[in-house]
Chains A and B, each alone.
Chain A
């Protein structure tokens, strides 16, 4: 991703360019539309005023098929509501993602889980996990694909300090490996992660 500019309120109603090669933090108190912003950037919603350009292409004009490709290979996301499939096991939830590009072997995936303390949860139904555990699974899932940008929407809200450290380490390590960048939206904390650019909503 080379270029991204939009003029909504605050970051909205302004123009900004998020350049690739940078990690971005967007600070956003509740109610300022951070989830909406990521929805626009991920092609989930189209109802914005102004323009959002991705590689100089208006995001509204990207077709459904192109979005599918972008989500498989260019942008990954950790959503605030996680969106796991509750009736499937952790294994199935992760495999659903990994099967798209087959980037990781089962051992690697289970490794990541145990780094976040979830090794015994492999065969457990996702709906029976705590919110914090679901968040961690959701984070692992987001790593199981190639990407240029990893977007995170309040990924650590239900995770304790130690696990936040472990998780953020994992995220940064995998992202660097892919030569990619992070765009995180947070209420106010940076979780000790390093960001080149900061914005406000």
Chain B
């Protein structure tokens, strides 16, 4: 009977519209959170879980750099800053040769020989992705281990080789070739190079750090400059901070490396956008609800006054209304959760096509957010209803 009185003026259509609005906003908010969590987890799962990720960075080359090559180097402060970024575990500096060096590969089929001017670089051992017991060099050794970029092997087998009528070589075969090194510093010095591996990670001709420092010390023809490349050991290549740092500081790297980081950054932006839109919709729908409640109450002002004059307590009447609001909220949130489950299933299917996978089901954070939203809706509506009825109770003359 109370229902008859309190809800006398209910307009189902208005209520449904208000509820749909709330549903849209709530779903949008919750789903954005779920999508972000799913995608992050999926992307992370692809990374090497065992070790760090590695990233080689250099500065972007602009026309001005032609006039000031120094600007392409990383200063000590700069290196320090990078070292202190929270996603950076270690920073390795590329040291380069400061002398003229030529390399010749002999022993190719048909007695062919490849001869080229080259350059050497070296990084601390721990950054190498080639596992070899053969990487030592000390002064006096004539034999110098060398690591070539994996790309060179491909270039030989699929580019240079065919163009010269040379058959493709396996990694193993390549390692058997002889590599003659001629350093032209103040005078000519010869070494025997031994190719001990191919690196996917570092795209340069690598020699042991000891050898490079020795050679620079003894044969250098120009002064040391600040390093132009760094290798970073990072916690996670897809950390959004990486893309941000590259962007802000004007660093360059193999674009492939940044994809994960860029994707995450874009994800974050899209997520924030959706959260914002969802949030706006939620706020608007709360206002719509409040307005609906106000109209509902104002339409039965007469009846409510009669009840109050009879001795009904205004807070009890407010709680009656709040009870209805809770029922509506329950419908909205249960529907939102239902929709979330359906959307989650679709999302997982979609991710699978990209060979990404993650845990099915709704994340705990989403549940927490839903709970938080319910509290907010309830609190604001309760406050509004109570205020309205209190105002009414103070003015019973009508």
* Of the residues B4, B390, B396, contact of A44 by C-beta under 8 Å: B396
Indicate if B356 sits at the interface (CB-CB under 8 A). Answer: no
Q: Mark B289-321 against chain A: 1 for CB-CB distance below 8 A, else 0.
A: 000000000000011011111111111000000
Contact B311 A69 (CB under 8 A): yes
Contact B312 A68 (CB under 8 A): yes
**Chain B residues within 8 Å of chain A by Cβ, number:** 22
* Of the residues B8, B309, B312, B394, contact of A42 by C-beta under 8 Å: B309
Contact A100 B311 (CB under 8 A): yes
A36 to chain B, nearest CB (A): 9
B33 to chain A, nearest CB (A): 42
Bound CA–CA A103/B165 (angstroms): 112
Contact B4 A92 (CB under 8 A): yes
**How many A-B contacts if CB must be within 8 Å?**
57
Bound CA–CA A139/B317 (angstroms): 25
Residues on B with beta carbons closer than 8 Å to the beta carbon of A87: 4, 8
A77 to chain B, nearest CB (A): 7
Known: A64-B393, A85-B306. A96 touches B311 (CB 8 A): no
Bound CA–CA A32/B309 (angstroms): 23
Bound CA–CA A20/B325 (angstroms): 45
Known: A83-B306, A85-B306. A65 touches B315 (CB 8 A): yes
Closest Cβ neighbor of A45 among chain B residues:
B397
Bound CA–CA A64/B396 (angstroms): 11
Residues on B with beta carbons closer than 8 Å to the beta carbon of A92: 1, 4
Bound CA–CA A71/B306 (angstroms): 12
Contact A39 B397 (CB under 8 A): yes
Bound CA–CA A88/B313 (angstroms): 20
Q: Mark A49-78 against chain B: 1 for CB-CB distance below 8 A, else 0.
A: 000000000000000110111111100010
Indicate if B266 sits at the interface (CB-CB under 8 A). Answer: no
Indicate if B5 sits at the interface (CB-CB under 8 A). Answer: yes
A72 to chain B, nearest CB (A): 3
Contact B311 A145 (CB under 8 A): yes
Known: A44-B396, A44-B397. A65 touches B1 (CB 8 A): no
Contact A64 B306 (CB under 8 A): no
Residues on B with beta carbons closer than 8 Å to the beta carbon of A88: 1, 4-5
Bound CA–CA A37/B169 (angstroms): 112
Contact B310 A71 (CB under 8 A): yes
Bound CA–CA A43/B312 (angstroms): 14
B85 to chain A, nearest CB (A): 61
Bound CA–CA A97/B311 (angstroms): 8
Bound CA–CA A100/B303 (angstroms): 16
Contact B312 A100 (CB under 8 A): yes
Q: Which residues of B contact A (CB under 8 A)?
A: 1, 4-5, 8, 302-303, 305-315, 390, 393-394, 396-397
24 A-B interface contacts by CB (under 8 A): A39-B397, A42-B309, A45-B396, A64-B390, A64-B393, A64-B394, A67-B393, A68-B308, A68-B311, A68-B312, A69-B311, A70-B311, A71-B311, A72-B311, A73-B311, A79-B309, A83-B306, A85-B5, A85-B302, A87-B4, A92-B4, A96-B1, A100-B310, A100-B311
Nearest 3 pairs of A and B residues by beta carbon: A72-B311, A71-B311, A44-B396
Given contacts A45-B397, A77-B309, 8 further A-B contacts (CB under 8 A): A39-B397, A65-B314, A68-B312, A71-B310, A88-B4, A96-B1, A100-B310, A100-B312
